[in-house]
A = this chain, B = another copy of it.
């Protein structure tokens, strides 16, 4: 379907995201070979009906497309294995929540010319193969990232996988735009949620506060209840974008504090985002209205054109032999 005859998709790493992706591709009839560093995880994946190789070398040996779904810290070793054992034709992608640092690692392993970054915008509070689910990555929004040297054929391969069997929609971006946006909508919210929880945990009125906590605290701290080690890794990996975004949080809050302490006006602060409120835009929706679909022909530097279009809010909804289909990203 996606891969050439007899050329499977290799999924390296069977945690929450890798496991969910392997399950989804398998369910959609894609030839998938997966592996994981843990024998127990490999056994669990076999019991779940997946085709599992015992090591990275066997997993990627005949692959057309390799999906790196390991933690960033494992990337140098895994990328070296892939470079040594995958066919030169195999395209390499990943599912990590930061893109610049992953590109650096795969480039260091000599895979830079074969790499297209990818990040499915979905997850749960849980981790590991046991938490993986065939539905988790079905029809979700993805970010796919490229640099100026991207091989268009490799970008085509990744877009075909994501918009085809994964039924997803895709924003094609530079690593930098992705990582800045991810800091704003994911990493900074994780840091802030952690601080809200920490402040209550350390307060003299802690027991009263926890006893009175209702919806705003539950929602504001939900992600602080997820695995703090994973949150810390995600935040520190994107430190280059998270730190300046947190500086803006500090500056904005200092203005609010000054107003509260001087009976000044907080009106502008509370009304800054009125246009976003009016549009009711709280979360992305992967669905699109097919009426608005446009074709971007696969000619010239179409990857760069796609990046420009996606930065204004359109998403890729499909790909044909001659064009990428784009449509406005709907609000949810």
Q: Are A181 and B223 in contact (CB under 8 A)?
A: no
Q: Are A123 and B257 in contact (CB under 8 A)?
A: no
Q: What is the interface of chain A, defined by CB distance below 8 A to chain B?
A: 121-123, 141, 143, 171, 173, 177-178, 180-182, 184-186, 188-203, 205, 207-225, 228-229, 231-232, 235-236, 239, 242-243, 245-250, 252-254, 256-257, 260-261, 263, 266-267, 269-277, 280-284, 310-313, 315, 329, 331
Across the interface, name the chain B residue whose C-beta is closest to A282: B218
Q: Which of B182, B196, B223, B247 has a CB less than 8 Å from the CB of A189?
A: B196
Q: Are A277 and B225 in contact (CB under 8 A)?
A: yes
Closest-CB distance, A137 to chain B (whole angstroms): 12
Across the interface, name the chain B residue whose C-beta is closest to A182: B212
Complex CA gap A214/B280 in Å reads 14
Complex CA gap A263/B190 in Å reads 19
Q: Are A260 and B246 in contact (CB under 8 A)?
A: yes
Q: Which of A198, A209, A216 has the most CB of B within 10 A?
A: A216
Copies of this chain per assembly: 2
Q: Are B208 and A311 in contact (CB under 8 A)?
A: yes
Q: Which of B210, B215, B245, B261 has a CB less than 8 Å from the CB of A281?
A: B210
Q: Are A272 and B198 in contact (CB under 8 A)?
A: yes
Across the interface, name the chain B residue whose C-beta is closest to A254: B250
Closest-CB distance, A290 to chain B (whole angstroms): 18
Contacts A214-B186, A283-B217 given: A208-B181 contact, CB under 8 Å? yes
Find chain B residues with CB under 8 A from A269 CB.
194-195, 198
28 intermolecular pairs with C-beta atoms under 8 Å apart: A141-B214, A181-B205, A185-B200, A185-B212, A186-B212, A188-B199, A197-B272, A197-B273, A198-B273, A201-B273, A208-B310, A208-B313, A215-B222, A215-B283, A216-B222, A217-B282, A218-B283, A219-B220, A220-B220, A220-B223, A225-B282, A228-B271, A228-B277, A231-B270, A235-B266, A239-B260, A243-B257, A249-B253
Find chain B residues with CB under 8 A from A188 CB.
196, 199
Across the interface, name the chain B residue whose C-beta is closest to A187: B216
Q: Which of B216, B236, B272, B282 has a CB less than 8 Å from the CB of A201?
A: B272
Q: Which of B214, B260, B276 has a CB less than 8 Å from the CB of A235?
A: B260
Q: Are A222 and B223 in contact (CB under 8 A)?
A: no
Closest 10 CB pairs of A and B: A207-B313, A189-B220, A201-B273, A181-B209, A239-B260, A185-B217, A198-B272, A218-B283, A228-B270, A243-B260
Q: Are A266 and B313 in contact (CB under 8 A)?
A: no
Q: Which of B216, B223, B331 has a CB less than 8 Å from the CB of A223?
A: B216
Q: Are B245 and A199 in contact (CB under 8 A)?
A: yes
Find chain B residues with CB under 8 A from A217 CB.
185-186, 189, 282-283
Q: Are A210 and B284 in contact (CB under 8 A)?
A: yes
Find chain B residues with CB under 8 A from A171 CB.
208, 211-212
Q: Which of A121, A219, A243 has the most CB of B within 10 A?
A: A219
